[in-house]
Amino acid sequence: ESSAGRMHMAWYNLGNQYRELERWDEAIDAYQQSLRLVPDAVSTRNNLALAYELAGRRDALLVARDRLG
């Protein structure tokens, strides 16, 4: 696995940990970092959208949804 792939998973897993702790802003940031490395990661996009929703950030949720096409 490539270095970018490993870092993508590290950010993704960190986002999941923050989401479990209900630390929404940190989860969102981690998922965004993950997507910078692997932009087409469906699970990461899904979890990012979920974190936006749980944080009550509907405006950002709509932007994330629109990027999914």
* pLDDT single digits (tens) 31-66: 999 999 999 999 999 999 899 889 988 776 666 555
DSSP string, the chain: --HHHHHHHHHHHHHHHHHHTT-HHHHHHHHHHHHHH-TT-HHHHHHHHHHHHHTT-HHHHHHHHHHH-
The pLDDT of residue 15 is above 90? yes
Determine the pLDDT at residue 4. 80
Q: What is the pTM of this model?
A: 0.83
